[in-house]
Structures are given as structure tokens and as C-alpha cells.
């Protein structure tokens, strides 16, 4: 297997892009990434997306997006793993280059959520869960997160304000981030005073609806000008029904994917200089920190409240704002995370920069901890 390099990245700002279509957004990010990599010679396109079948009544995205950037005659396909689509597509793209099958792959994620009404978006997101026995009850994705949130507070005695600090940190980090949807600070008091979305989760603890696209160019490391290398990628899945998990406060898929990624990269937790975790609500961010192995189970919320995940802290986490403040265009989110790690390692994170970052990890979740994709990048 060959070493694989992140040779280029391209991001659109995340917001409600009323004037741009799914195709427009993809092309914008993909062309930026190609320009960044200084190439136009790609031989495969992996498109990550979750909701286009319902949000736009559109499928066949591989061919559509290859065509959108003027490519014919190459391999193109869509990868879907709910909100882990981006991380899983990246894993597949890396395999294709590492194996020698392809020499230059574009992995691009896109989601356009503002085309649909709120109830339609909630139904689209609930497609990450079993339609016959989970979505059937009328539970939303945020409602499932709430079941974990409540149980976590009860089991570990975590306080609402400690868990809410995850969103406070994200908003602090997003200030100055050019692609963030919500680049401003929000106080813990304001979060806890916001209306309940799915009790005990407040509205301002939830990532929001947004449109965006993120693209990454992968090439064999020996050919790349750029110095960011894929140290490892791993994907794991868990029981599809939350009801069957032995402990709903544990994301076992995260533990498995992390263990595999750390082993394959040959690095340890103390080597990670910058971290991106999946915080579609505050609790998933907290549980992810724990199950990735950075914090003891039950102590994640206190760890965040104490400031350890701040940009200047022990473990700078979600340094561009995370899902909460940078934004969560679901099928593209995992690629925003990986692109952000690459920008940190290149020293091009601007006001979000973590000085001297050499190794970073991105973790993406599909469903409520059902699919987990972990990516470790390092500077060569």
C-alpha cells in the first residue's frame, strides 16, 4: 500500500445558500480543491451526501458532480453513511489511492438542506435510523441524542451547564473562521435559556440546518508537493438500534474505529495536537471525547468545562467551531473536519491556528454513534 497525501482542500462557507444549487456548491468546493492541489488530472470522484434523495429528489450524484467539474470518462460514485458520509467517503478514497488503483482522487461532500421545510429536514435526518421501528415512533435524531444526554447526566452526575460548555467552546473557536456558519460567541447562560428542542437538549446545543460543500484531493504521498499525509483511516459500525446497545452512554463504534486508527498510524493520544469531533449536539461531542480515549468515561463534560478543549488548552478541539458553530451540512461535514485538520497542519488556519500542530484526528458519526469514521493526518 502507498502512502497517501492530502494534496488540496476546498471549502464553501456554510450558510443558507439561497442562490446556489447542490451542483453549484459541489463545483465551487471541488474547483477550489483542484486549484489548491495545482492539478486538473483526477481519475475518480467520490461524492459524499446524505439527503439529496429527499431534499432535492436527486440521486446519481457521482456522474452529476463529475460532469459539474467538466469530467467525463472517469470513475464517479456517491458514498452514503448518514452524517458520517464524508468520513467514510474519505476512507474509500484513501483506499483507492493507497492500493494503486487511482492516482488522483477527489473526495467531495455536499449537502443542501435549505431547499426543504423543517419537518422534511427532520424526516430526512431520521432516515439514519430504522424507519420501521425507530423513526416510526416519531423520534427525531435530536430526540435520540436526548435519551443519551439524560441518561449521561443521571449516570455520571454531569451538570447541564458543563455539557453546554461544549457549544460555548465551539462558538469561541468559530470567531474569525471564514467558512463558519455562526462565527460568534454564545454564553452558557444564553444556551441554557434557549427553548427545549428535545428535553433535556436546548435549541442552542444543537447543530443547525446549513448548506455547504467540502472537497479534498488525494494523491500518492511521494508525488505530492504538500506535506500533509494520511496516517490512517478507520470505519466501524454498531447496533443499528439504540435500544440494543449494552450501555447507551457508550459509543462502541467510536472505540473500535479509534483503536484501529491509532494502531495503524502508530501514534498515541498524546501525539494528537488538534482534534475534530462530531458534536451534532453537545452530548455527542462529550461522549466522543471519552470513547476516542482522550478522557475517562463520565468525565468528558467536566474536562470541557475546565477549558482543556479550548484552542490554548491541553487538547484543542473543534478549532473552527465544530458542527455547532462551523456548521453541519451533514453529508459534507466529515470532509470539513478533515480539511480543517489539514489546514491546521499546513499552518494555514488563520485566526483558528493551533501553533505547531503536527498530528490531528477527525472523528465523524453517522446516526447516533452507529457508524464512526476516524481519520488521523500528520505533517511530513
Partner 1 sequence: MSVPRYWREIKYRYRLIGEMCTDCGAAFFPRRAVCPRCGSKDLEECKLSEKGAVVSWTVVRNPPAGYEKYAPYVVALIELDDGVRILSQVVDVEPEEVEAGMRVEATFRRVREDGSSGIIEYGYKFRPVIE
Residues that bind partner 1 (CB under 8 A): 117-120, 122-123, 126, 130, 132-140, 142-143, 146-148, 150-151, 154, 195-201, 239, 241-244, 248
Separation between Cα atoms, residue 100 and residue 326, nearest integer Å: 34
| Grid cell in block for residue 252 | 462502541
Q: What Rg, from alpha-carbon coordinates, does the chain have?
A: 19
- How many other CB atoms sit within 10 Å of the CB of residue 368? 28
Min separation Cβ 119 and partner 1, Å: 4
3-state secondary structure of 16: coil
Residue 11 host element (H or E): strand 4-11
Q: Is the dihedral of CA 289, 293, 295, 296 positive or negative?
A: positive
Is 51 in contact with 19 (CB distance < 8 Å)? no
Min separation Cβ 143 and partner 1, Å: 5
> Which residue's CB is nearer to partner 1, number 238 or number 290?
238
For residue 85, the number of C-alpha atoms closer than 13 Å in the C-beta half-sphere is 29
DSSP structure class, residue 206: B
Min separation Cβ 176 and partner 1, Å: 31
> Which residue's CB is nearer to partner 1, number 101 or number 196?
196
Min separation Cβ 209 and partner 1, Å: 11
Separation between Cα atoms, residue 289 and residue 317, nearest integer Å: 9
Min separation Cβ 145 and partner 1, Å: 8
Separation between Cα atoms, residue 126 and residue 52, nearest integer Å: 14
> Which residue's CB is nearer to partner 1, number 70 or number 195?
195
Min separation Cβ 75 and partner 1, Å: 33
Min separation Cβ 144 and partner 1, Å: 8
Taking each helix axis as running N to C, give the angle between helix 22-37 and helix 61-68, from 0 to 180 degrees, rounded to the nearest 10: 60
| Grid cell in block for residue 152 | 449521561
> Which residue's CB is nearer to partner 1, number 119 or number 312?
119
> Which residue's CB is nearer to partner 1, number 144 or number 338?
144
> Which residue's CB is nearer to partner 1, number 130 or number 358?
130
Is 355 in contact with 66 (CB distance < 8 Å)? no
Which string of b and e fits 306-338 if b means at least 16 CB within 10 Å? eebbbbeeebbbbbbbbbbbbbbbbbbbbbbbb
Separation between Cα atoms, residue 139 and residue 123, nearest integer Å: 10
Q: Which residue has the cell 492530502?
A: 6
Min separation Cβ 201 and partner 1, Å: 8
> Which residue's CB is nearer to partner 1, number 134 or number 309?
134
Min separation Cβ 15 and partner 1, Å: 21
Separation between Cα atoms, residue 317 and residue 182, nearest integer Å: 17
> Which residue's CB is nearer to partner 1, number 184 or number 239?
239
> Which residue's CB is nearer to partner 1, number 34 or number 126?
126
> Which residue's CB is nearer to partner 1, number 45 or number 236?
236
Separation between Cα atoms, residue 39 and residue 69, nearest integer Å: 13
Min separation Cβ 79 and partner 1, Å: 24
Separation between Cα atoms, residue 213 and residue 333, nearest integer Å: 8
Amino acid at each position: 500500500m502507498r502512502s497517501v497525501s492530502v494534496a488540496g482542500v476546498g471549502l464553501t462557507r456554510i450558510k443558507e445558500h439561497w442562490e446556489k444549487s447542490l451542483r453549484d456548491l459541489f463545483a465551487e468546493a471541488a474547483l477550489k480543491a483542484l486549484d489548491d492541489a495545482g492539478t486538473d488530472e483526477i481519475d475518480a470522484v467520490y461524492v459524499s451526501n446524505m439527503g439529496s434523495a429527499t431534499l432535492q429528489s436527486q440521486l446519481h450524484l457521482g456522474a452529476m458532480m463529475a460532469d459539474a467539474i467538466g469530467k467525463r470518462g472517469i470513475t464517479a460514485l456517491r458514498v452514503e453513511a448518514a452524517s458520517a458520509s464524508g468520513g467514510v467517503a474519505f476512507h474509500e478514497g484513501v483506499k483507492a489511492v493507497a492500493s494503486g488503483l487511482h492516482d488522483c482522487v477527489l473526495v467531495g461532500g455536499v449537502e443542501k438542506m435549505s431547499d426543504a421545510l423543517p419537518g422534511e429536514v427532520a424526516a430526512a435526518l431520521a432516515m439514519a435510523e430504522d424507519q420501521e421501528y425507530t423513526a416510526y415512533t416519531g423520534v427525531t435524531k435530536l430526540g435520540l441524542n436526548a435519551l443519551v444526554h439524560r441518561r449521561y447526566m443521571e449516570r455520571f452526575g454531569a451538570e447541564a451547564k458543563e455539557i453546554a460548555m461544549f457549544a460555548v467552546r465551539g462558538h469561541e473557536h468559530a470567531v474569525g473562521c471564514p467558512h463558519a456558519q455562526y462565527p460568534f460567541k454564545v454564553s452558557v447562560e444564553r444556551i441554557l435559556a434557549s427553548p427545549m428542542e428535545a428535553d433535556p437538549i436546548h435549541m442552542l446545543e444543537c447543530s443547525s440546518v446549513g448548506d455547504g460543500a467540502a472537497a479534498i484531493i488525494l494523491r500518492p504521498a511521494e508525488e505530492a508537493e504538500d506535506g500533509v499525509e494520511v496516517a490512517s483511516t478507520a470505519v466501524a459500525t454498531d447496533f443499528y438500534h439504540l435500544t440494543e446497545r449494552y450501555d447507551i452512554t457508550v459509543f462502541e463504534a467510536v472505540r473500535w474505529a479509534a483503536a484501529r486508527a491509532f494502531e495503524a498510524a502508530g501514534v498515541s493520544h498524546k501525539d494528537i495536537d488538534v482534534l475534530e469531533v462530531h458534536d451534532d449536539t453537545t452530548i455527542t461531542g462529550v461522549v466522543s471525547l471519552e470513547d476516542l480515549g482522550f478522557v475517562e468515561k463520565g468525565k468528558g463534560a467536566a474536562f470541557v468545562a475546565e477549558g482543556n478543549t479550548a484552542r490554548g488548552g491541553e487538547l484543542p478541539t473543534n478549532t473552527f467551531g465544530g458542527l455547532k458553530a462551523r456548521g453541519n451540512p451533514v453529508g459534507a461535514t466529515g470532509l470539513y473536519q478533515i480539511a480543517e485538520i489539514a489546514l491546521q497542519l499546513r499552518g494555514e488556519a488563520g485566526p483558528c491556528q493551533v501553533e505547531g500542530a503536527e498530528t490531528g484526528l477527525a472523528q465523524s458519526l453517522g446516526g447516533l454513534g452507529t457508524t464512526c469514521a476516524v481519520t488521523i493526518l500528520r505533517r511530513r
